[in-house]
Amino acid sequence: MTRAELENAIRGLVQPRLNIVTIWAYQTTATGASVARPDTPHALLNLISDVAEGMPDGLGDAVLSDGEYLERLTEDRYARCSVKVFGSGAWDKLQDLRLYLQTATSRGLADTAGIGIAGIGDVTDLTALDGAGWEQVCTLDLVVHRREQLEVDEGYMETVTIALTHKQGSATIATDTITSEV
């Protein structure tokens, strides 16, 4: 899943429930200009991290028809997305989203999009002064899970040869090679 596909999956899960203008942090227009700040209320999504859980698991080698080996790896990844809502009613919108994300409906939609809901944070009030007065701002973190798979044809080694040199000090005592059919 590419970053764009991940962002689309998260937005598709969050935006319909919030039912307000929703943009990504650092989002740009088709011409590359920054997206202007929308009127309030609006939501800002920010993909904070995307990390693997441990090392990829190998699913074993499969012999292909031409005798080459295909390595299959599976990796569990967790992405943390901050959902910030600006404007009047921000707290209520995020509390509603938080409850909605715990329903079977939202989990089914997430599954259809290729992600799973792994964690939902608490709503935090970040209300602050802006240039015109107080602006209500609230946030919650959403953690989604997905499974990435990679198939790589690593080729096949038919013969391995290792050169051996035994030295004592600077003098070469013996040399040999070991050849093995794999």
Contact 143, 119 (CB under 8 A): yes
How many other CB atoms are found less than 10 A from the CB of residue 53?
A: 11
Contact 137, 40 (CB under 8 A): no
Contact 143, 118 (CB under 8 A): yes
Residue 16: is its pLDDT beyond 90? yes
User: How sure is the predictor about 9, in pLDDT bands with cuts at 50, 70 and 90?
Assistant: very high
Largest CA distance in the chain: 85
What confidence tens digit (pLDDT) does each residue in 111-163 have?
A: 999 999 999 999 999 987 566 678 899 999 999 999 887 666 655 566 777 88
For the chain, the average pLDDT equals 83
What confidence tens digit (pLDDT) does each residue in 73-108 have?
A: 777 889 999 999 999 999 999 999 999 999 999 999
The whole-model pTM stands at: 0.70
Strands (E), 17-170: 21-24, 42-52, 57-63, 69-86, 116-120, 124-125, 128-130, 133-135, 137-153, 159-168
Contact 72, 151 (CB under 8 A): yes
**Quick one: DSSP state of residue 20?**
S
- What domains, with CATH codes, occur in the chain? 3-157 (3.30.2000)
